[in-house]
Amino acid sequence: MNRIVFIVTLIITLLTAYTETRAETANCPATADVYIDQESPATNFNDKTRVLISYHPTKGAARGLWKFNIPGTIDAAQIESATLHVSGSIHTGGGTALSVDCYALNTPFDENAEAWDTHSGGDYDSSVSSSGSLPSGNDWEAALDVTTLA
């Protein structure tokens, strides 16, 4: 009887002492965003309501730059996954499917002054990237896994 009471007490103690660590989701909205366009290298496009990501064979690339505020309570080692959600709209004119690469910038950017020429086309670290695909058309949503950048 003492043995059964001891085992039951041990199980109850283990169950009450066990705490499961749960993953938390943190939404990190962009605190700055702009796109830079190879076709208009001296133009700042911060007056636009969109961030363009495109490539045209004769006009070149348009690259989106985003800055996210990651809470100070999150340590980089704790991040298990990071996803960038983007969407297309009729406002952007649609387009063909596109494979994109996401990179971390080497230097900060000023969304009110940035242009292709002022940021060397993006000034990014090409050694670490995340890739994804954007669908064709003008009404879509896509999720890009950017865990390697976090």
Separation of alpha carbons 81 and 100, rounded Å: 18
Structure tokens at 133: 């695909």
Separation of alpha carbons 108 and 119, rounded Å: 9
Pick from 10-24, 60-74, 102-116, 125-139: least confident? 10-24
* pLDDT of 2: 43
Q: Are 68 and 30 in contact (CB under 8 A)?
A: yes
H or E, element range at 140: strand 140-145
* pLDDT of 87: 83
Pick from 12-16, 31-35, 81-85: least confident? 12-16
